């Protein structure tokens, strides 16, 4: 049973117009099925439906190059666009040429896993109270609402592994399993490209992460990408503060440091993209284990230079260290930890937080153009929620609102907000001001905040 194909072109030669293709991969560009994607662009097959985490940035050898070649009619993804990154896919979405179904990241992989397991549908607590549930059946279990989600089946899956044998057994490396197993199981034809093809028996059975029964075709990659050279540009230097009333507030790094101090000892913590990722730099020596959606538990601070391992990265795609006892797994397992209530604390960025502790962090326009990511799944667990963000947006508008103006990520779920001006704590339904940045007064902070704020009995100064 030899599943090896001679080339990427041969492996995609039977993909016809209208096919549904799942493209695995998570953030870091070198662990996508680049050879297969380029071969499909060369073939020019049209009217495709793509299932993926996101299409990627302009020119990225991911699904975006298929959109740039006008091959995509529908997108099923956790991210349709990213603010500040114009793409061909966004233009097509706005023009009505590309249909979009936005799906929370954990639900996306779970729907694919269900498709491969012969489960037609399931109920989930994720996304309750948000715009994503419109038109879906909701049913109560144990007194709590749950949303009916249907399985996803795809025609083809493009996967990226480290090694495979001729029987299709696949080994992944580091935190690069992500979507691969669930997408493979959902596919009629699963194609994996790998760095190395070996003979059966050369991969120790305990190191096989995806058994060959789920794989249809194997190819050796023809595209080499320097993973260590990949970097996500920083929006603003983390040590440069914004000015309010002509005075410097905390830096973004300062926000992260204060949030880190809120984390309890002996807990599992998930860090979102942006300012939250910097929290990992302030947890050294703490009894805290960090969790990332791409499938790693027990990572440490961010690293650069010779300390970079291109297969060890967080959910933002930033390279990180590993702590003793770390483990790797796929995204299905990762979100089982979140929805199952195993994560004690979630730290996220946000566009807005409102009076009731509801949060909006995924869309700046409409429900078809944004990035849900894994936030809704993370909020459906039982952990504390800490929001970290700058106090106002780039135009000086308050981000602490009476009512969120952007689509909600979660309702009445926020415990703390740390901004560059203050620390807020929700107590008995009220937002209490507990600390302020050096050089500012409670009155100044309240004046820059739209929602009602109750100053605590002893408002302290943030370090």
Q: What are phi and psi of 262, to 5 degrees?
A: -80, -20
Q: Do 379 and 362 form a contact (C-beta atoms < 8 A)?
A: no
Cα–Cα distance for residue pair 398/450, rounded to 1 Å:
6
Q: What pLDDT score was predicted for residue 292?
A: 95
pLDDT at 84 exceeding the cut of 90: no
pTM, full prediction: 0.93
What is the average pLDDT score of the chain?
93
351/364 Cα distance (integer angstroms): 8
Q: Are 417 and 352 in contact (CB under 8 A)?
A: no
Ordered by where they begin, the domains of the chain are 8-221 (3.40.1080.10), 243-461 (3.40.1080.10)
**Can you state the angle between helices 331-339 and 105-117, rounded to 10 degrees?**
110
**What local confidence, expressed as pLDDT, does residue 283 receive?**
95
Question: What number of CA atoms fall less than 13 Å from residue 44's CA on the CB side?
Answer: 0
Check if 99 is active-site: no
Q: Could you give the CA distance from residue 149 to residue 376 in angstroms, rounded to a whole number? A: 14
pLDDT of residue 371: 83
Active-site hit among 293, 352, 390, 435: 293
Integer Cα distance of 270 and 297 in angstroms: 9
Residue 314's pLDDT band (cuts 50, 70, 90): very high
Q: Binning pLDDT at 50, 70 and 90, where does residue 226 land?
A: low
Task: Dump pLDDT digits (tens) for 347-373.
Answer: 999 999 999 999 998 876 554 567 888
pLDDT band at 85 (very low <50, low <70, confident <90, very high): confident
Of the given ranges (357-361, 374-378, 381-385), which has the lowest mean pLDDT? 381-385
In the 3-class helix/strand/coil scheme, how is the chain assigned residue by residue?
CCCECCCHHHHCCCCCCCCEEEECCCCCHHHCCHHHHHHHHHHCCCCEEEEECCCCCCCCCCHHHHHHCCCEEEEEECECCCCCCCCHHHHHHHCCCCEEEECCHHHHHHHHHHHHHCCCEEEECCCCCCHHHCCCCEEEECCEEEEEEECCCEEEEEEEEEEEECCCCEECCCCCCECHHHHHHHEEEEEEEEEEEECCCCCCHHHCCECHHHCCEEEECCCCCCHHHCCCCCCCCCCCCCEECCEECCCHHHHHHHHHHHCCCCEEEEECCCHHHHHHHHCCCCCEEEEECCCEEEEEEECCHHHCCCCCECCCCCEEEEEEEEEECEHHHHHHHHHCCCCCEEEECCCEEECCCCEECCECCCCCCEECCCHHHHHCCCCEEEEECCCECCCCCECEECCCCCCCCECCCCCEEECCCEEEEEECCEEEEEEECCCCCHHHHHHCCCCCCEEEEEEEECC
Length of the chain: 463
% the chain with pLDDT above 70: 95
pLDDT at 421: 98
Query: HSE of 420 in the Cβ direction (CA atoms, 13 Å)?
Result: 22
> Residue 119 pLDDT > 70, yes or no?
yes
Residue pair 108/332 in contact by the 8 Å Cβ criterion? no
Looking at residue 57, what is its pLDDT? 86
Q: What's residue 86's pLDDT? A: 85
pLDDT in tens, 122-180: 999 999 989 889 999 999 999 999 999 999 999 999 999 999 999 999 999 999 999 99
* Mean pLDDT (whole number) for 391-402: 94
């Amino acid at each position: 049973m030899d599943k090896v194909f001679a080339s990427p072109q041969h492996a995609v030669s039977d993909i016809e117009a209208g096919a549904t293709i799942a493209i695995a991969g998570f953030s870091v560009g070198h662990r996508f099925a680049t050879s297969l994607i380029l071969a499909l662009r060369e073939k020019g097959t049209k009217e495709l439906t793509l299932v993926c985490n996101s299409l990627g940035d302009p020119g990225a050898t991911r699904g975006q190059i298929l959109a740039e070649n006008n091959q995509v009619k529908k997108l099923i993804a956790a991210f349709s666009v990213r603010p500040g990154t114009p793409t061909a896919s966004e233009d097509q979405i706005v023009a009505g040429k590309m249909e979009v179904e936005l799906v929370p990241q954990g639900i996306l992989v779970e729907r694919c896993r269900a498709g491969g397991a012969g489960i037609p549908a399931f109920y989930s607590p994720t996304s309750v109270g948000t715009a994503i549930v419109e038109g879906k059946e909701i049913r109560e279990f144990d007194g709590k609402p749950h949303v009916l989600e249907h399985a996803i089946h795809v025609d083809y899956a493009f996967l990226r592994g480290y090694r495979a044998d001729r029987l299709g057994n696949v080994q992944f490396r580091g935190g690069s399993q992500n979507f691969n197993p669930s997408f493979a199981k959902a596919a009629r034809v699963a194609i994996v490209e790998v760095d190395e093809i070996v003979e059966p028996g050369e991969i120790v059975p305990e190191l096989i992460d995806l058994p060959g029964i789920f794989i249809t075709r194997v190819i050796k990659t023809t595209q080499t990408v320097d993973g260590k050279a990949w970097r996500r540009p920083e929006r603003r230097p983390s040590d440069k503060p914004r000015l309010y009333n002509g005075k410097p507030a905390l830096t973004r790094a300062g926000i992260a440091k204060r949030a880190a101090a809120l984390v309890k000892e002996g807990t599992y913590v998930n860090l979102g993209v942006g300012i939250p990722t910097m929290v990992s730099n302030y947890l050294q020596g703490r009894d805290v284990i960090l969790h990332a959606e791409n499938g790693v538990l027990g990572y440490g601070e961010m690293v650069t230079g010779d300390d970079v391992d291109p297969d060890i990265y967080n959910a933002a795609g930033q390279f990180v260290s590993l702590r003793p006892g770390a483990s790797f797994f796929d995204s299905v397992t990762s979100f089982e930890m979140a929805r199952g209530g195993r994560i004690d604390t979630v730290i996220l960025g946000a566009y807005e937080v409102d009076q009731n502790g509801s949060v909006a962090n995924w869309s700046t326009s409409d429900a078809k153009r944004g990035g849900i990511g894994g936030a809704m799944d993370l909020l459906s667990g039982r952990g504390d929620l800490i929001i970290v963000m700058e106090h106002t947006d780039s135009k000086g508008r308050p981000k602490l609102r009476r009512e969120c103006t952007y689509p909600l990520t979660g309702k009445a779920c926020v415990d703390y907000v740390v901004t560059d001006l203050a620390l807020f704590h929700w107590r008995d339904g009220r937002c209490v001001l507990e600390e302020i940045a050096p050089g500012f007064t409670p009155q100044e902070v309240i004046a820059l905040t739209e929602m009602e704020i109750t100053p605590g009995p002893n408002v302290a100064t943030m370090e």
